[in-house]
Amino acid sequence: MSTTIQRVGVVGCGTMGSGIAHVCALAGLDVMVAAASGASLARGRERLTGSFDRALSKGKLTSQEHENALARVSYTSDLEDLADRQLLIESISENEPAKRELFARLDRVLKDPEAVLASNTSSISVLGLARATADGGRVVGMHFFNPVPALPLVEMVSTPLTDEKTAVRAEEFVTGTLGKRIIRSPDRAGFTVNALLIPYLLSAVRMVESGHVSADTVDDAMTLGCSHPMGPLRLADLIGLDVVASIAETLHEEFREPHYAPPPLLRRLVETGMLGRKTGQGFHHYDR
């Protein structure tokens, strides 16, 4: 087996991709972030730099740690530059055809036959992605949670094609190198966390949609009455309403159970670009 993973590639530099790059850089790894265009890379660089800056301002990093972390991250829009990576983590939008196409390309790019190819998907079948490659044995699901630097959990998902040594290597990376906790989840839509979480969020949306209660009332009920750290609608805004809708659609398509169906109100908000915290408006308003 190859040596300990030191060279990591992250494909996609949105909220999740930049968060994954953040924790990898802080762990002392050589991190290369890839995106489809120069504009996407510029936004990703700004997002990641801002994340390190906030950690510095809050005293979570020293000036030297801040400088070292920034220096460990490089950026590219050419997937061929990822050829020497020992681990590639895909973190693009939840679009199965796009992910399949990307996995087929990344599988051809990687030179190390023992390199791990992981997806940060929150709901899509990992087996479907593995079957897009020539070597499904090195494919796993590695689902981080937002915000990545703060939340300790990673869902690890193996498929019938995944080599056990790949699963072990991926788990050792998450627990040993990144210092996070893992749960092994089945390769089914929503895995474990979202299969439980999404129906709860959709139920909160339906309550507001009925007109009987406001979003503030729903969130206050769960934070003040059930000691949840965040109400379901603020949580949906944090995740991104487009992401919530996408996961719900995947769950509903697989299981055909009514409680997984995205409510019309959620669909309308997504269609009008009101996606939550990242756009400044969802079920609540945010100062961007």
Annotated catalytic residues are 122, 143, 155, 194
Question: How many other C-beta atoms can be found within 10 angstroms of the C-beta atom of residue 156?
Answer: 21
Please give the structure tokens belonging to residue 275.
């996606």
Beta pairing, strands 181-185 & 87-90: unpaired
CA distance 142 to 156: 5
DSSP state of 120: -
Quick one: CA torsion of 21, 111, 113, 94, rounded to 10 degrees? 40
Please answer whether residues 63 and 106 qualify as being in contact, where contact means their C-beta atoms are separated by less than 8 angstroms. no
Q: 147: cis peptide before it, omega within 30°? A: yes
Please answer whether residues 135 and 165 qualify as being in contact, where contact means their C-beta atoms are separated by less than 8 angstroms. no
Beta pairing, strands 153-157 & 139-144: antiparallel
Count of alpha carbons within 13 angstroms of residue 105, beta-carbon side: 14
Q: Which of 78, 86, 140, 81 is nearest to 113 (CA)?
A: 86
Q: Which of 39, 43, 23 is nearest to 31 (CA)?
A: 23
Which sign does the torsion angle of CA 231, 237, 239, 244 carry? Answer: positive
Torsions phi, psi for 151 (to 5 deg): -90, 130
DSSP state of 273: T
